[in-house]
Amino acid sequence: MKGTLIFLIFLVGIAVGIGGTMVAPDMVGPYLPAALRVNKTVTVEGEVIRKVREGDHLLLTVQTTQGTVLATFRKKVAEIELLVQQGDTLTLTVSRYEPFVSDPAIERVRKQDLALRPQGSALPLPVGAGTEVNPPH
C-alpha cells in the first residue's frame, strides 16, 4: 500500500511537471519581467513595398531577407496607417516566420531617407524650427 501511494505521487508529480512546462509559459509569461520570459518570438525586418486599406483592416506587404510577408492589421488601423508609409523599413515581432501574419507587434519603423523622397512629401517643420531671418531695420 505504501509503495503504491509513493508511485501514485510520483506519477502525479511527472504529470504536473510536464503540464506545467507546456501550459505555464503561455499563462504566466505576460506577467513575468522580460529577462525571465521564454523568448518564443522572431524579429523580422524589411521594407514596406505595398500598403492597402480595406475597410476595417490594413494590409502591409513587407519584403524581408527571408521572403515576403503579408501583415494584416485589425487593431489600431488608423494609427498604423498614419505611421507606416510605403518605402519605410519595418521591424515586426512574430511567433515564427510565416508569409501571412495577423496583428504582429511593430517594434520599429524607420522612415525612408528624406533626400530620397519626392519634394512634396517632406515632413513640415514644427513652428519655430528652421532658420529665422530678421528683416533689415
Write the DSSP string, 96-131. Answer: S--SEEES-EEEEEEPPPGGGS-GGGSPPPPTT-S-
78-128 per-position pLDDT tens digit: 999 999 999 999 999 988 888 999 999 999 999 987 555 555 544 554 554
Question: What is the per-residue pLDDT for 2?
Answer: 84
Residue 41's identity, in one-letter code, is: T
pTM > 0.85: yes or no: no
Higher-confidence residue of 46 and 112: namely: 46
Q: Round the CA-based radius of gyration of the chain to a whole number and report it.
A: 25
Quick one: cell of 27?
499563462
CA distance 66 to 94: 13
CA distance 80 to 128: 28
Question: What is the per-residue pLDDT for 73?
Answer: 93
Residue 63: pLDDT band (50, 70, 90) is: very high
